[in-house]
Structure 1
Amino acid sequence: MYIADETWPELGDYFADESLALVPLGSTEQHGPHLPLATDHLIAEAFAREAADRTGYCCTPTINVGVSPHHRQFHGTMWVDAPQFRDYVESFTRNLAYHGIDRVIYVNAHGGNVDHLREVGRRLRDDEVMYAIEWMWDESIPELVDDLFAQNGPHGGPKETAMIQHLHGHLVRDDQLEAARDGGVPDVEAAETVKHGSRTFYDAADNTGNGVLGDQTDATAEKGERLFEAATDQLCQLCDWLDDQPFVDLLPKEHV
């Protein structure tokens, strides 16, 4: 169920019976010469909406701009600073708590959001307001990702390319796949920006001239469909697991 499609009386029935919501989050940032800036938030929204449809749980509107200053050198990238992002997401989530939601899954498709979503989840849990956890689609199916792609990225690589080919194929610039591969690097190791155990890079531009990594020519819509189905199944299972937990068991443990 997508919350914004419902009327307030209809939602009263949901909040009376259910206590879980899905919150999709992504970014609006460069994804190379072949993918749209919307890549991450389109992926997050697709997973959250599909899981909501399959399970009956509530899905909120998507948070489209995330913590992306490390992509700022590339035209059009948008970001919010980390403290403001954390405060906004926390306020957004507390709004759900006001309506009776006490557990949230942040359906996230942008790596730059991860640490900040974990911090927000900790704040809410420590205040005993809510139990909120972060979920990343590719981390739910790592073996399949590795099986499908020899060089899977991470950023703007074949796994994200395949996903957008499946979800919004008209947005993929197929004539730029070779340019994406040839103008980027296979992985961070190939960028040679890890020195003696230290990550000496701060921005994507420090690693790759065109903003992406991996072999984008290895992507297909069929692979994207396999990834989408497998990860959606994992998300639905996570929803049902979380819904089954007694709320008291999700709160912080007592001091020993």
Structure 2
Amino acid sequence: MYLGDETWWDLEDYFDDESLALVPLGSTEQHGPHLPLATDHLIAEAFAREAADRTGYLCTPTVNIGVSPHHKQFYGTMWVDAETFRSYIESLTRNLAYHGIDRVIYVNAHGGNVDPLREVGRRLRDDEVLYAIEWMWDESIPELIEEVFEQPGPHGGPKETSLIQYLDGDLVHDDRLTDARDGGLLDWENEDGVRVHGARTFYDAVDNTDNGVLGDQTDATAEKGEQLFEAAAEQLVELCEWLDAQPAEDLMPKDHR
């Protein structure tokens, strides 16, 4: 069920009977010469809506702009500071609690949102408002990603490219995949300068990659995207069912020993 499609009259039964909501979050930021700036929030919304359709749980509107200052040098990237993002998401989530939701899954598709979302979840749990957890699609299927791609890349690589090819292929500039690979950073894990004596010495994406992306984009296909989507969507469905089955008291902080 998508919240934005319903009237308030038709939502009363849901809030009376159910207690779980899915909140998709992404970003509006550069994803190289081949992918749209909407990549992350398109992916997040696709997963959240798919899980909502399969389970009947509520999906809220998508948060389209996230914590992305590390991509600021690339035209069109939009971002909010982490503190602003945390405050906004906490307020939004408290709104859901007001209506009766006591457990939330942040369906996230942007790495810059992870730490702020975890902080918001802890704050809401410590205040015993509700239980909120962050879910990242690629972290739910790491073995499959390693099996499918030799160089997946953490940003704008073949895993994200494949998903957008599957979800909305018209948005992908397939004729630029070779340029994306050759102008980016292919081997993230082994590149000199990415880590120095165990420290990450960079702050912005442009410090490592001229065109903003990593991995081998030429390895992407819509068929691989469908495989990734189905596997991760199933993981999200199972997470929804697990979370819904937990007693509310078990989700709150334990008493002091």
2:255 aligns with 254
> In structure 1, what is the Cα distance between the partners aligned to 2:21 and 2:199?
39
How far the C-alpha of 1:243 sits from its partner, in A, is: 0.2
2:170 aligns with 170
2:216 aligns with 215
1:153 aligns with 153
Q: Spell out the pairing of 1:171-210 with structure 2 (5 A cutoff).
A: 171-188=171-188, 189-190=190-191, 192-210=193-211
Aligned-partner residue type, residue 253 of structure 1? K
Aligned-partner residue type, residue 52 of structure 1? A
- Go from structure 1 to structure 2 and tell me whether the alpha carbon gap of 1:113 and 1:254 turns closer, same or farther (over 3 Å shift): same
> In structure 1, what is the Cα distance between the partners aligned to 2:191 and 2:220?
20
Aligned-partner residue type, residue 96 of structure 1? L
Q: Spell out the pairing of 1:1-256 with structure 2 (5 A cutoff).
A: 1-188=1-188, 189-190=190-191, 192-256=193-257
Q: TM-score with structure 2 length normalisation?
A: 0.99
Q: Deviations over 1:101-145 (max 9, x none)?
A: 000000000000000000000000000000000000000000000
Q: Deviations over 1:82-110 (max 9, x none)?
A: 00000000000000000000000000000
> In structure 2, what is the Cα distance between the partners aligned to 1:225 and 1:85?
31
Aligned-partner residue type, residue 237 of structure 1? E
> In structure 1, what is the Cα distance between the partners aligned to 2:187 and 2:4?
40
Q: Answer whether contact 1:154 1:187 (CA < 8 A) is retained.
A: no
> In structure 2, what is the Cα distance between the partners aligned to 1:111 and 1:185?
18
Query: Where do 5+ consecutive residues of structure 1 fail to align?
Result: none
Aligned-partner residue type, residue 255 of structure 1? H
Q: Deviations over 1:61-82 (max 9, x none)?
A: 0000000000000000000000
**Helix, strand or coil for the counterpart of 1:73?**
coil
How far the C-alpha of 1:13 sits from its partner, in A, is: 0.5
How far the C-alpha of 1:191 sits from its partner, in A, is: 5.1
How far the C-alpha of 1:9 sits from its partner, in A, is: 1.0
How far the C-alpha of 1:187 sits from its partner, in A, is: 3.2
The ranges of structure 1 where at least 4 consecutive aligned residues each deviate by more than 2 angstroms after the TM superposition are: none
Q: Deviations over 1:138-169 (max 9, x none)?
A: 00000000000000001000000000000010
> In structure 1, what is the Cα distance between the partners aligned to 2:156 and 2:194?
18
Aligned residues: 256
> In structure 2, what is the Cα distance between the partners aligned to 1:222 and 1:208?
27
Identity of aligned residues (%): 77
How far the C-alpha of 1:193 sits from its partner, in A, is: 2.3
How far the C-alpha of 1:175 sits from its partner, in A, is: 0.6
**Helix, strand or coil for the counterpart of 1:4?**
helix
> In structure 2, what is the Cα distance between the partners aligned to 1:198 and 1:243?
40
**Helix, strand or coil for the counterpart of 2:167?**
helix
Q: Deviations over 1:24-76 (max 9, x none)?
A: 00000000000000000000000000000000000000000000000000000
> In structure 2, what is the Cα distance between the partners aligned to 1:171 and 1:76?
16
Q: Answer whether contact 1:185 1:191 (CA < 8 A) is retained.
A: no
